[in-house]
Structure 1
């Protein structure tokens, strides 16, 4: 399956006018359908482990299916490792975990901007693909997709993402 070269979502623009006071927070019980979290972490050697441990709590609280737990945690770890490889020390990476229907999506933003020069861009993309080999295999094994592309403003750098599909959802109904 070829990889996609565009980000799966764009950041939402901030509305020009906001309600004051703001609406109350969502106080309903967590569920897999309401799973959406973002982490901003430093590019450091322990960051992937911290992201994975935080994701474990998030997935458990939201009752994500047991079949997705281990692959999702591995995906968070691998995408965070990848983002740190392309982000300098002292800079920040962002990791977003969300549920979209039957798919669990993990997105990581690094600060390494896409190259304008064609040869540099091709070499850098090849390096990224090599860094994402485990992500690609994991995503494809779980009927998902993966890809990377320039981040949408206001983010800078590159957005890398992968999805895992709920194995029960991919089975035909008898």
Structure 2
């Protein structure tokens, strides 16, 4: 069973097992002096890429790579500069060729944005989707968002 992250549910950082911190940059601001909505896509990308590209986590088998096919963002509060952010990521669904991540950005204990993204594993030579390997599935299970259970073979 996959527990969806309801758009209106208030996320809790402790529910996301993969975490990292970053700084809000002055360049992230828009004319309203808060972080521009487009910048959040970069914050979420940083979370995904740092997880999957770290060879220690075993999510990048030779000859395979990841492409993002969907990103849904829920903007929850203004974020201003100067500031630091805490980002969280958790796996919420495993498909045949894809993984769905739930992601959050927190500042000063407040969730300022949440997202759901879908990434597909591809063969780098053919650029076609390929089935998740047993090792990738096992390694992704380490990062399940709290409250999510994924049935075997899903």
Query: Which TM-score band applies after superposition, normalised by the shorter structure?
Result: 0.3 to 0.5
Q: Which has the higher contact order (CA 8 A, sep 6+)?
A: 2
Structure number with bigger Rg: 1
User: Which structure has greater helix proportion?
Assistant: 1
